[in-house]
Structure 1
């Protein structure tokens, strides 16, 4: 089937459909009715293998693959609320994006006059934006690590020990970071509606840590990381970026302090984020 407003689909895809910018959504700069992504109609058994094949075809197809966590048949129907065009993303500086997320987080943590909730200032960082962490080191291939992580996610289990089920998604994009903004993914909407800030941060993490987008949930993100921090000092600097990017990872991730969170990042080749 030919789609005049979408790149030609690769061969050997399962049945699927194009999802378009909805008339009722917040379409931002993307025109209404624009095809945002292709998504398989159902979960696939060989999701990780298919992701790697499609990733290898990305340069030719122009379609970046994502694994989409399958919760129910309609979970993804309305999760593409904020599509933007590439010029919006290109105008977003990565460090400015992280600084903006940091500053917004600090402002949101100021209690309202009628808010009795105590904010644990001693346990979690505050103050001015600390700046970017230094790049990771190592010779590992970011793409090879992404392929390995896709294979891992194919057989992963959820919080309850149940096998995860994955649909396939294809987004016209130069990389996984930009794919999130171009498709209008609203997973972080409880933290920010400006997905271009998330994409800009991911672009910087790709440059500094060899990070690649592999999987998406309706409020989760799975990244492969080829060059993670190798010591606590570096991991602490990275943790501050994570805190700006997704504070729920620290607040609701079972960590009492930022030091505990940082220690869990040392040498780990995957970062997973969840916005409550």
Structure 2
């Protein structure tokens, strides 16, 4: 980020960036770089390919880009001080997931809208019990190539309104969520959500490609290939974002069926 401040015309990237600015946190420390206009898909591809060298993760920001991040944390210093910030242990994450799952199942069981055979408990791999994390998917393409294709699709179909590009100093998209301070509506602590995203990066070749204030888009290079595997992955999605299952799909089963071979996942919080 310091190099970008000193030479935004080309170093250390090796090529020039379009017009933009380095956004600073409340302590005036570099936070992320933000383009002034919508980026071209080819630029995002080049920046993603350069990530290992630059440490800058490209993320498309939609709607009001600063509302995606700046209004959500009064003090960002904790998210910028080091790569271990926001780390959630496997034990902590498992306990959080189990608690969230139990609450969601209880609400689903009590909702008369669902017939018994339509409820999550009748469809999930372990019924009303948390089934544990799903097994990794089989990679169908190189993760960065899938991410580039999804970015092009998002931009071409104008999913983000007037998008701008953020370059976030992060090891991966899951860490970029923490460093941006992104937090969707009704979410008080983004750390376990970022930990789940990190797990998806490892198991499903997922990559964070775009954000709106309460929307997350990810590319997926190793999606579930069978209905059984998809139901298990859908259980994770239900914990992560119930609205994506019950408001963006007709049912838990419908959401699971949509995941088979799907190269992108979208999550939306009401």
Shorter-chain TM-score: which interval? 0.7 to 0.9
Is residue 222–residue 273 contact of structure 1 (8 Å, CA) maintained in 2? yes
Is residue 63–residue 170 contact of structure 1 (8 Å, CA) maintained in 2? yes
CA offsets, 1:158-214, max 9 Å, x none?
A: 4xxxx843201010011111111122112x241x22222111111111111110111
Shift of residue 19, structure 1, vs aligned partner: 2.7
> CA separation in 2, counterparts of 1:254 and 1:232?
16
Is residue 19–residue 35 contact of structure 1 (8 Å, CA) maintained in 2? yes
Q: Does 1:201 align with 2:196?
A: yes
Is residue 173–residue 207 contact of structure 2 (8 Å, CA) maintained in 1? yes
> CA separation in 2, counterparts of 1:107 and 1:86?
32
Residues 101-112 of structure 1: pairs in structure 2 closer than 5 A: 101-104=97-100, 106-107=102-103
Shift of residue 124, structure 1, vs aligned partner: 3.6
Structure 1, unpaired ranges of 5+: 23-31, 112-116
Residue in 1 that maps onto 2:45? 52
> CA separation in 2, counterparts of 1:87 and 1:77?
20
Tell which deviates more after alignment, 91-100 or 229-238. 91-100
Residue in 2 that maps onto 1:259? 253
1:210 to 205, 213, 224: 205
1:66 to 38, 50, 59: 59
For residues 164 and 189 of structure 1, do their structure 2 counterparts lie closer, same or farther at Cα, with a shift above 3 Å needed? closer
Tell which deviates more after alignment, 124-133 or 177-186. 124-133
Aligned residues: 250
| CA-based RMSD | 3.0
Residue in 1 that maps onto 2:177? 180
> CA separation in 2, counterparts of 1:209 and 1:7?
37
Q: Does 1:249 align with 2:244?
A: yes
For residues 198 and 76 of structure 1, do their structure 2 counterparts lie closer, same or farther at Cα, with a shift above 3 Å needed? closer
Q: Secondary structure at the match of 1:144?
A: helix
Q: Please, what TM-score do these two structures have when normalized by structure 2? A: 0.80
Is residue 68–residue 211 contact of structure 2 (8 Å, CA) maintained in 1? no
Q: Secondary structure at the match of 1:87?
A: coil
Residue in 2 that maps onto 1:37? 32
Residue in 2 that maps onto 1:88? 85
Residue in 1 that maps onto 2:18? 14
Residues 125-274 of structure 1: pairs in structure 2 closer than 5 A: 125=121, 127-158=128-159, 164-186=161-183, 188-190=184-186, 192-255=187-250, 257-274=251-268
Q: Secondary structure at the match of 1:14?
A: coil
> CA separation in 1, counterparts of 2:249 and 2:3?
48
Is residue 86–residue 182 contact of structure 1 (8 Å, CA) maintained in 2? no
Q: Secondary structure at the match of 2:259?
A: coil
Shift of residue 97, structure 1, vs aligned partner: 2.4
